[in-house]
Amino acid sequence: MKKIEMKTPLVEMDGDEMTRILWQMIKDELLLPFVNLKTEYYDLGLKKREETKDQITIDSANATKKYGVAVKCATITPNKQRVEEYNLSEMWKSPNGTIRAILDGTVFRAPIIIDTIKPVVKNWKKPITIARHAYGDVYKDTEFRIEKPGKAELLYTSVDGETQRQTIYDFECAGVLQGLYNKDSSIESFAHSCFKYAIDTKQDLWFSTKDTISKKYDQTFKLKFQEIYDNCYKAKFEELGITYFYTLIDDAVARVIRSEGGFIWALKNYDGDVMSDMVSTVFGSLAMMTSVLVSPDGNYEFEAAHGTVTRHYYKYLKGEETSTNPIATIYAWSGALRKRGEMDNLPELVNFANNLEASCVKTLLDGIMTKDLVNLVDSGVKVKSVNSKEFILAIKERLNKYYN
Ligand code: NAP
Ligand code: MG
């Protein structure tokens, strides 16, 4: 066959450990035989981040601003143990944190649902999409450990020198302290992208925070959402018959569990991190979830929601067989290629992305799957548990049918 052509390069962000191995397999078997892949390559593997003093991460985010679409492999966020393991000169920050701080925006995460895998919460019939604010809060915090008694204060000095000062706590002992911030502009763009996404996908939008306790911080999120809804989106929501609904996060959790699904749940940065793991686990596995960062100026970064699957990687290094699920990483590629195709008006590329996803679903429905999914499948369905390579080849076999 003649390979599918691209116009604009994708920003390709390679990563670490097991997902880096999957990344190469996916390219070799599922992409390069079909597409004349154009990418601008950034190696965000920890070794390269160390060599470039993390400049590579910043460069990759700026490239995303230039081209508009990126695809990212999972990466290690270094901790103390990693600093020793990789002999790092510094505990480099989370690449996702760095990229999100540069791009701003909202991360949308939706489960990939297969008929033969029933969610653990049995009344969930439709996907629940998590819209996670991707800027600020605890991901950009300042933290102190306090080793002896003393007074902690919050101090703000405006550009013209006015100050606001308040005691946080008068420590009589050792303890901990944390400073968080967010910006009106980022909260507003978060709200706009959630309302737009709800309209695009014709789903209800729920939003929850802890505004009863956080009377300024969370309250700002709540008020901004309401104001933007009333001024910009209410009419369109009513026309489409969809609703915007705000409730306290604890109430939301209870309602979400009792719901049928089929809506978007907007959450602050940390809440979205935690709840998206919960939602994906209920629907099957962390590897069965799509994740895309949408920035206010219309840039897209597609990724998997899970990490580098370290435990499997250590087994892989020992030469043992691994059955790591590549679905989320494949969908990161298909999502990015589809978006590139839509932006560049390349229907063949859009089709390819659709066919690739359909081939993944077909493989799973045929009962061929990685170990993580085997125990989740309905009893009565015949299942063949395979390793990552065999799984990718089974997908390729089905993808080939569209092109021969
Ligand atoms: P993880 O890589 O998501 O893996 C946690 C466990 O979840 C695995 O041990 C495995 O369970 C299961 N799992 C996750 N993805 C899977 C897949 N594709 N197929 C099959 N099973 C899968 O999280 P972690 O072990 O906490 O973190 C490892 C590294 O990833 C850390 O260095 C962390 O910094 C990084 N991380 C990166 C990102 C990102 O780049 N987006 C996100 C989270 C974490 P079993 O072992 O039971 O099979
Ligand atoms: Mg997480």
Q: What is the pLDDT of residues 131-175, one digit of tens each?
A: 999 889 998 899 999 999 999 999 999 999 999 999 999 999 999
Q: Exposure of 349 by Cβ count < 10 A (0-12 exposed, 13-18 middle, 19+ buried)?
A: buried
What's the rounded Cα separation, in Å, for the pair 296 and 106?
8
Cα-to-centroid distance, 14 and ligand 1 (Å): 16
What's the rounded Cα separation, in Å, for the pair 224 and 380?
50
Fold for domain 1-111+296-404?
Isopropylmalate Dehydrogenase (3.40.718)
Residue nearest ligand 1's atom 46 by CA: 311
Pocket test for ligand 1, best of 20, 306, 392 (most atoms within 8 A of CB): 306
Residue that is written with structure tokens 């303890």 in the block: 175
Residue 101, pLDDT score: 85
Which atom of ligand 1 is nearest to 82's Cα? 32
Question: 96 CB less than 6 Å from ligand 1?
Answer: yes
Cα-to-centroid distance, 388 and ligand 2 (Å): 23
**R_g of the chain, CA atoms, integer Å:** 22
Q: What are the 10-residue block averages of pLDDT along the chain, 404 residues in total?
A: 95 98 98 98 98 98 97 97 95 93 88 86 92 91 96 97 97 97 95 90 95 97 98 97 97 96 96 90 85 87 94 95 96 97 97 98 95 86 94 98 91
Burial pattern 201-217, b for ≥16 Cβ within 10 A else e, equals eebbbbbbbbbeeeeeb
Cα-to-centroid distance, 305 and ligand 2 (Å): 7
Tell me which ligand sits closest to the C-alpha of residue 312.
1
**Of residues 188, 245, 207, the one with CA closest to residue 131:** 207
**Of residues 53, 54, 71, the one with CA closest to residue 6:** 71
Residue 165: Cβ within 10 Å count: 9
Cβ atoms of 72 and 332 closer than 8 Å: yes
Residue 120, pLDDT score: 86
Q: Point out which residues pair with 294 in neighbouring strands.
A: 106, 300
Cβ atoms of 324 and 18 closer than 8 Å: yes
What's the rounded Cα separation, in Å, for the pair 230 and 227?
5
For 247, the token pair is 């409730």
Cα-to-centroid distance, 307 and ligand 2 (Å): 8
Q: Where are the strands (E) in 104-149, listed by range?
A: 106-111, 128-133, 142-146
What's the rounded Cα separation, in Å, for the pair 12 and 300?
12
Residue 349, SS3 per DSSP: helix
Question: 21 CB less than 6 Å from ligand 1?
Answer: no
Question: 94 CB less than 6 Å from ligand 1?
Answer: no
Q: Which CATH architecture has domain 118-141+181-283?
A: 3-Layer(aba) Sandwich (3.40)
For 158, the token pair is 């405006």
Question: 247 CB less than 6 Å from ligand 1?
Answer: no
Question: What are the backbone angles phi and psi of residue 291, rounded to the nearest 5°?
Answer: -145, 125
Residue 294, SS3 per DSSP: strand
Pocket test for ligand 1, best of 96, 308, 391 (most atoms within 8 A of CB): 308
User: What are the start-end ranges of the H helices in 109-216?
Assistant: 184-201
Pocket test for ligand 1, best of 286, 291, 371, 375 (most atoms within 8 A of CB): 286
Residue 348, pLDDT score: 97
Residue that is written with structure tokens 């009962």 in the block: 367
Report how far apart, in Å, the C-alpha atoms of 339 and of each of 9, 207, 264 are.
Answer: 12, 26, 21
Cβ atoms of 345 and 351 closer than 8 Å: no
Residue nearest ligand 1's atom 27 by CA: 307
Cα-to-centroid distance, 273 and ligand 2 (Å): 5
- CATH 3.40.718.10 residue ranges of the chain are 1-111+296-404, 118-141+181-283
What's the rounded Cα separation, in Å, for the pair 234 and 232?
6
Residue 355, pLDDT score: 98
Tell me the pTM: 0.87
Residue nearest ligand 1's atom 37 by CA: 307
**Digit-coded pLDDT (tens) for 304-317:** 989 999 999 999 99
Question: What are the backbone angles phi and psi of residue 152, rounded to the nearest 5°?
Answer: -100, 130
Question: 107 CB less than 6 Å from ligand 1?
Answer: no
